[in-house]
Amino acid sequence: MPQRPETNARDRIVFLLKTRGPQTAIQLSKELGITSIAVRQHLQILQEQGLVSHTVQKGKVGRPAHLWDLAPASARCFPDRHADLVSVLIEAIADIYGNDGVKRVVERWAEKECARLQEQASFSDMNLADKIRSLVESRQRLGYMAEAVEHPDGTMALVENHCPVGAAAHCSEDLCDCELELFSRILAPQARVERDEHIGHGDRRCVYLITPVPTES
């Protein structure tokens, strides 16, 4: 399906800012062959999407110029080969140190990730629901499209609708096993965690069932 003209114009603006650096609306309008008013409308939408930002530059004469540039979030608009790189690194570790070496590296990563989450202010004092929310927010920042779902029976599910390291996980199931171990450590002793759905086994998403563990009176 052909792109809508306005979408195509915004894509071109992002491309120009990436390849040419910061630009004013007037400079972009000359490059695109559209009016500066139209460019400003597109820039406003891109700014609302968090893809661009602007600074005001004062000249010796005349009105200050608004210089537009890409925001950090614009990285998602461009090719990302991190998963491929991780896959190659895992294969290299396996070649040199064997599968046991891969497992040790992944386990060390899980330990560091667990420690990072637990070092958050007041994390140890959080109730189970708040810990799950904190974990979901962390996974969202990493690109897992995570969400928490509460079931009528009091159990909860941590749902990951996307796996940004799918290619790497395909090379080593230890990554997925360590993810389950990571969640279990973080939510222990308040809950028991089990994997119910798994992208690596052909499911649409990964789902971790979280069952509260009654505290001893």
In the chain, the amino acid numbered 189 is P
What structural domains does the chain harbor? 5-77 (1.10.10.10), 82-212 (3.30.1380)
More confident residue, 36 or 125: 36
Give residue-wise pLDDT tens across range 139-198.
888 888 899 999 888 889 999 998 877 766 777 778 888 889 999 999 999 999 999 999
Helical (H) or strand (E) element with 212: strand 206-212
Helical (H) or strand (E) element with 158: strand 156-160
Give residue-wise pLDDT tens across range 2-35.
444 555 899 999 999 998 899 999 999 999 999 9
Give residue-wise pLDDT tens across range 53-62.
999 987 667 7
On the CB side of 70, how many CA atoms lie within 13 Å of its CA? Answer: 19
DSSP letter (8 states) at residue 130: H
Whether 124 has a pLDDT exceeding 70, the answer reads yes
Rounded CA separation 162/83 (Å)? 13
